Amino acid sequence: MILEHSSKNKKILLLVSAVILIAGIFLSLYSSVIFQEGNPWPQIKGVTQLTFGKSDIVKLSGLDNKYLTKSQGGPMAVETFMKGRGYEYTDQMGSGYFYKSSDKTIVLTRRQYSRFYAIWTISENNNNANNNLWTTITNNDGITFQYPKELLAKYVSIAEWPPVITIKTGTYSCKTTPMEVSSLADITYQRLVDDRTYCMNVKNESAAGSMYSSYTYTTVKNGKLVKVSFTLQYPNCNNYDEEQSKACAKEREAFDLDATVDRIVQTVK
């Protein structure tokens, strides 16, 4: 009996040790994600609610204006949620999503919480900046389009702007850069925005602690090839102190350039 009792204690001790070891390894590997918002418990509770509950969006406990969704389907869940509160979607810019009711405009900003979840912050747009954000221009080729005068991003700057729009006849093709020979200096790959396909080429050049990225998006609209070209400046996030570096990295993850370009293309006449 004594030997049997001792054997059970050893098994329990081994099991507890294994659990502690696995938990320690998990924390060491994913601590940057788990603690990226500081206290992780509101996020852990939110993940549990999304996993076992019926809602596609949950409010983070103790945080008045923050909500959690899964990354996949997050914008749709937010739109349904906002419609229930009397707001209609009006625009999207970078990581900001604009919604408007009869008397006010609010903006939701999105940032990733691991690969699988997104945190949404809701704030009133007191300056009503969205009303004057987009402007209409007609270029020398007679092409009329709308573009945003700014990108609503702190760590992404406009270098060559407004975008250059060209329309040509031809057949769409996209020779993507193979992964095994890809270079950070020049990459081409396809992007799918809603149900529209874009061929995106980006050329990167470093200068004075920043990365200058020259983009060319190509897609088909009304049977013709539409190209959108521009250059953005990205500062090196590691050049900031720890707090700003984290903010820079989070903004970079959430910044949705594809949606902005798609919006521009849809206004082309």
Average pLDDT over residues 24-46: 57
Looking at residue 128, its pLDDT comes to: 46
Going by C-alpha positions, the residue among 125, 115, 113, 124 that lies closest to residue 58 is 113
Average pLDDT of the chain, as a whole number: 81
- State how far the alpha carbon of 113 is from the alpha carbons of 43, 50, 77, in Å: 9, 14, 16
What's the confidence (pLDDT) of residue 26?
40
Give the end-to-end CA distance of the chain in Å, rounded to a whole number: 87
Q: Any idea where the domains of the chain sit in the sequence?
A: 41-128, 133-266
C-beta atoms surrounding 232 within 10 Å: 21
| Residue with the two structure tokens 């900001």 | 96
Assess if CATH 2.40.128 describes domain 133-266: no
Global pTM reads: 0.60
Count Cα atoms within 13 angstroms, Cβ side, for 77: 20
Q: Please list, residue by residue across 140-153, b when 16 or more beta carbons sit within 10 angstroms of its beta carbon and e when fewer do.
A: eeeeebbbbeebbb
- The model's pLDDT over 231-266, given as tens digits with 9 standing for 90+, comes to 999 999 998 888 888 888 888 877 888 888 998 999
pLDDT tens figures, 200-234: 999 999 887 899 999 999 999 999 999 999 999 99
Per-position b or e across 192-218, b if 16+ CB within 10 A of its CB: ebeeeebbbbbbeeeeeebebbbbbbb
Residues 219, 197: contact at Cβ < 8 Å?
A: yes
133 SS3 class: coil
